[in-house]
C-alpha cells in the first residue's frame, strides 16, 4: 500500500474496501471542492462492532456546491449502488468554512443515512431539525477523527464551545429519555458516554464509558452491564432492558450533565 492508503490501516479490515471506494466516489463527484473525508463515531473512538455499528463519515467541501453535486453524491453512495457492509452509512457533508468554526448549529449541506439496517434519509436543509447529533459528532471528530482524505481532523473540524456542547448533551439525554426509535442498550450507553465526558472532558467509546460508570456507580452497575451485554449482540438480537430502570438512569445522567455544565459555566 502507498502513503495515500495509510489512514485505512486504522479502520477495521471489513470496512477498508468500502471506505476506499467511498472516498474514490466522493472525489469523483466533488472534484477540487473536496477538502476532507473524516471517519467519526465508533470508528474514530475504536469501538466499531461489525454487524452492529454504523459507519459515520464527515465530508468537507470548499465553497457552496451546486445542488446537483450533493444529489449526485447521495446517489453514488446509496446502499443500493454501494452496499454498506456495516449496519448502515451515516454521512454528513459540511461547508469547510462552517466546520472550521465552533458552532452549535446542525449546519449540514447533506445528511445521508443509507444501509440495510437504517431508515433511509436524504436531507439538504437542517432548519427545524435537531442539531445535537451533529454538534456531538463534530466534537468527537475534532478529538479523534480519522482523516481518510485531506488534513488531520482537528485542523478542519472545530470543537464546539462548551455552552453549545452542553446544550447538545442535554438535548441528547432528552431524546434518549423519550426512547422512541432507540435501542434500550444505546440509550444507556450514550448516557454513560455523556457522563464520562462531563467528568473527564474527553469522549470515550461506549463500552469504555460504560466501564467507568459501572465501576463508580454500584447502584447502576447491573443495568450498565446488561446494556453492554446487549450491545455486543447484533441489532436484531438486542436485549430488552427494564424501562423504569432505564428512565431512572437517564434522570441521573441528566443531573450529571447539569452539574458538568455548571462547572464550566455553560
Whether residue 249 is predicted with pLDDT greater than 50 in this model: the reply is yes
Question: What is the 3 state secondary structure string of 72-136?
Answer: HHHHHHCCCCCCCCCCCEEEEEEEHHHHCCCCCCCCCCEEEEECCCCCCEEECCCCCCCCHHHHH
Contact yes or no for 121/63 (Cβ under 8 A):
no
Contact yes or no for 185/230 (Cβ under 8 A):
yes
pLDDT given at position 5: 66
Rounded CA-CA distance 134/77 in Å is: 20
Whether residue 72 is predicted with pLDDT greater than 90 in this model: the reply is yes
**Which range is least confidently modeled, 5-14, 56-65, 128-137?**
5-14
33-69 per-position pLDDT tens digit: 999 999 999 999 999 988 889 999 999 999 889 889 9
Instruction: Name the pLDDT band for 181 (thresholds 50, 70, 90).
Output: low
Please return the burial class of 57, using the count of CB atoms within 10 Å of its CB with bins 0-12, 13-18 and 19+: buried
User: What is the chain's mean pLDDT, rounded?
Assistant: 93
- Here the cell at position 50 is 461489525
Contact yes or no for 55/84 (Cβ under 8 A):
yes
170 closest CA partner among 149, 197, 146: 197
235-246 per-position pLDDT tens digit: 889 999 999 999
Q: Where are the domains of the chain?
A: 3-156, 162-263
Residue for cell digits 455548571?
Answer: 262
Contact yes or no for 187/202 (Cβ under 8 A):
no
CATH classification of 3-156 is 3.30.460, yes or no?
yes
Contact yes or no for 62/100 (Cβ under 8 A):
no
79-119 per-position pLDDT tens digit: 999 999 999 999 999 999 999 999 999 999 999 999 999 89
Contact yes or no for 167/133 (Cβ under 8 A):
no
Amino acid at each position: 500500500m502507498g502513503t495515500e492508503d495509510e489512514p485505512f490501516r486504522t479502520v477495521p479490515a471489513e470496512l477498508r474496501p468500502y471506505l476506499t471506494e467511498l472516498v474514490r466516489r466522493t472525489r469523483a463527484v466533488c472534484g477540487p471542492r473536496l477538502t476532507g473525508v473524516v471517519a467519526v463515531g465508533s470508528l474514530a473512538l475504536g469501538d466499531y462492532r461489525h454487524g452492529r455499528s454504523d459507519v459515520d463519515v464527515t465530508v468537507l467541501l470548499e465553497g457552496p456546491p451546486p445542488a446537483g453535486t450533493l444529489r449526485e453524491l447521495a446517489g453514488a453512495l446509496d446502499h443500493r449502488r454501494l452496499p454498506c457492509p456495516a449496519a448502515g452509512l451515516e454521512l454528513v457533508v459540511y461547508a469547510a468554512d462552517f466546520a472550521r468554526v465552533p458552532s452549535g448549529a446542525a449546519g449540514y449541506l447533506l445528511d445521508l443515512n443509507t444501509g440495510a439496517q437504517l431508515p433511509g434519509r436524504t436531507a439538504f436543509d437542517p432548519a427545524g431539525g435537531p442539531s445535537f447529533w451533529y454538534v456531538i459528532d463534530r466534537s468527537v471528530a475534532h478529538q479523534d477523527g480519522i482523516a481518510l482524505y485531506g488534513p488531520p481532523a482537528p485542523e478542519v473540524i472545530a470543537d464546539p464551545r462548551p455552552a453549545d456542547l452542553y446544550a447538545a448533551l442535554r438535548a441528547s439525554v432528552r431524546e434518549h429519555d423519550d426512547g422512541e426509535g432507540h435501542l434500550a442498550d444505546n440509550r444507556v450507553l450514550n448516557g454513560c458516554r455523556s457522563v464520562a465526558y462531563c467528568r473527564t472532558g474527553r469522549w470515550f467509546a461506549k463500552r469504555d464509558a460504560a466501564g467507568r460508570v459501572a465501576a463508580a456507580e454500584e447502584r447502576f452497575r447491573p443495568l450498565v452491564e446488561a446494556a453492554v451485554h446487549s450491545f455486543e449482540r447484533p441489532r436484531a438480537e438486542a436485549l430488552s432492558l427494564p424501562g423504569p430502570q432505564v428512565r431512572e438512569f437517564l434522570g441521573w445522567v441528566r443531573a450529571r450533565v447539569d452539574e458538568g455544565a455548571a462547572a464550566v459555566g455553560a
